[in-house]
Structure 1
C-alpha cells in the first residue's frame, strides 16, 4: 500500500496516491512536484505535510477524478471554461483536449438562426463610424469580402459561413473575455459561432480570437501574425500558407488542422 499524498487546494483537503497523480499524465505539474519535491516548484507545504496549491479547491475534484479514471463530468459551459484554466495550470493536455471537445459539442448543439440580422450594405454603413461593435450580432452567411473591418468587435456574435476573403481584420476582436470572469456562471453570451467562416487571405494581424470556435474555418493565406489564438478551437481549420509569426497558440486545439 502506498502512503497517501496529501494536497491542500485553496483550503480544500484531498488525499490520493502517487500513482493517481503520475500515471495518466507524467508531465503534469503535480507529477513534477512528486518527483522533485514541492519546494522545487515553489509550492509550500502545510504543517501536516500537505502540498498547498493556491487554486480553486472545488474544481480540483474534477481534475482529480480525471486523473483517476479519465472521466470529464457534464458541466455548464461557463464551468468548462473555468475548468480549462485549471487544466492548463496543472499542465494536463489530455484533460484540455477533453474539455475542448465538450465545448465544441456544446457549440454544435446551438440552434442556428437561418437569416442574418444585417445586410452587407448595413455593415458598410456601420463601419463608416469611428468605433464599430457587432457584439452578439448574427452575421451568418453574409459576404463581407474585401471590407475594411479593422478593430471591429465581433465578440459573442455569429459568423457561421460568413465570407471574409481578403477583408482587413487587423486587431479585430472575436474572442469573449467574459469567459474568464469567475462571477459569470450562466451562458448568457454563448451565442458565438465562428464555424466554417471563410477568412481566406484576410488580414488578422493582432486579432483577438481567444477561446473562439473556428472549427472548419478557411484561414489559408491569411495573416495571423501576433494574433491571440489561446484556447481557440481550431479543429479541421485550413492553415495552408497562413502567417503565424508571433501568434499565441497556448491551449489551442489544432487536431485535424490542414497545414
Structure 2
C-alpha cells in the first residue's frame, strides 16, 4: 500500500496512504483549525488558501467557487471529506504550477514523502537519494538516478526517458503510464512495481530484479 505526502510550496507536509478513505490525523487537525462546527465556509477556506498555500491573491469569491464545485458533498461549505478530496484535486492551484528544479543537485539527500508533482527535474542529480514515498506524478526526470530509493513512490506519468536507474529501488512504486524509453534499469528492483501502460521501448528488463 503506497504512501503519499502533500507538500505545499515545499514547506508543508501531509501524509496518507492511498487506500485510506478517511482523512489522516494531520489533515483532520488542519481542517479543525479552519472550520467551525465541522464546516469550512468560504471565508475560512480563503484564510486557509492564503495562510497555508500562500495564494495571497485569492478572494472569497474564488473560495466560494471551490465550494460550489464540491457542493454535492455538502451545501453550506466543505466538510472534512470534501476538504480532503479538494487538496488532491486538479482544482487545487498549487498542484497545477510546475516547479523548475532542473540541474539541482539532490545527491545523497533524504527526500522522503516530498511532493514533486509536475516539477521540472531535467538533468537534476539524484544519485544515492532516498525518495521513499515521494510523489513525482507527471514530473520530468531525465536524470541520473543511480542507487536511488523510490520505494512506494508515486511516479505515475513521470518522464523518465534515458534516465539512469542503475541499482535503483523501485519496489512497490507506481509507474503507471510512465515514459521509460531508453532508461537504464540494470540491477533495478521492480518487485511489486506497477508498470501498467508504462512505455518501455528500448528498455532491457532482463537485468532487473
Q: Scaled by the length of structure 2, what TM-score is found? A: 0.52
Q: Is the 8 A contact 1:226 1:244 kept in 2?
A: no
Structure 2: give runs of 5+ residues left out of the alignment. Answer: 1-17, 21-86
Q: Is the 8 A contact 2:138 2:155 kept in 1?
A: yes
Aligned to 2:145: 169
Greater share of helix residues, 1 or 2?
A: 1
Q: Is the 8 A contact 1:216 1:236 kept in 2?
A: yes
Q: Is the 8 A contact 1:224 1:245 kept in 2?
A: no
| Change beyond 3 A, Cα 1:121–1:77 | closer
Q: Residue 115 of structure 1: SS of its match in structure 2? A: helix
Structure 1: give runs of 5+ residues left out of the alignment. Answer: 1-75, 79-109, 177-191, 249-259
Matched residues in 2 for 1:137 and 1:114: separation? 17
| Change beyond 3 A, Cα 1:200–1:111 | same
Q: Is the 8 A contact 2:131 2:150 kept in 1?
A: yes
Matched residues in 2 for 1:114 and 1:235: separation? 28
Aligned to 2:94: 115
**Which aligned runs of 4 or more in structure 1 are off by greater than 4 angstroms?**
116-119
Superposition pairs of residues 30-179 of structure 1, within 5 angstroms? 77=19, 111-112=88-89, 114-115=93-94, 119-121=99-101, 124=104, 127=106, 131-165=108-142, 167-176=143-152
| Change beyond 3 A, Cα 1:122–1:246 | closer
In the TM superposition, residue 120 of structure 1 has moved relative to its aligned partner by 3.7
| Change beyond 3 A, Cα 1:200–1:114 | farther
Matched residues in 2 for 1:234 and 1:245: separation? 15
Question: Of the candidates 191, 195, 204, which is equivalent to residue 230 of structure 1?
Answer: 191
Q: Residue 94 of structure 2: SS of its match in structure 1? A: coil
Aligned-residue CA RMSD in angstroms?
Answer: 2.8
Work out which of the two has the higher radius of gyration on C-alpha atoms and give 1 or 2: 1
Aligned to 1:194: 155
Matched residues in 1 for 2:128 and 2:112: separation? 13
| Change beyond 3 A, Cα 1:121–1:227 | closer
In the TM superposition, residue 121 of structure 1 has moved relative to its aligned partner by 4.7
| Change beyond 3 A, Cα 1:196–1:122 | closer
In the TM superposition, residue 246 of structure 1 has moved relative to its aligned partner by 1.9
Q: Scaled by the length of structure 1, what TM-score is found? A: 0.43
Aligned to 2:12: none
1:46-84: per-residue Cα shift (whole Å, max 9, x none)? xxxxxxxxxxxxxxxxxxxxxxxxxxxxxx949xxxxxx
| Change beyond 3 A, Cα 1:204–1:119 | same
Structure with the bigger RCO (C-alpha within 8 Å, sep 6+) is 2
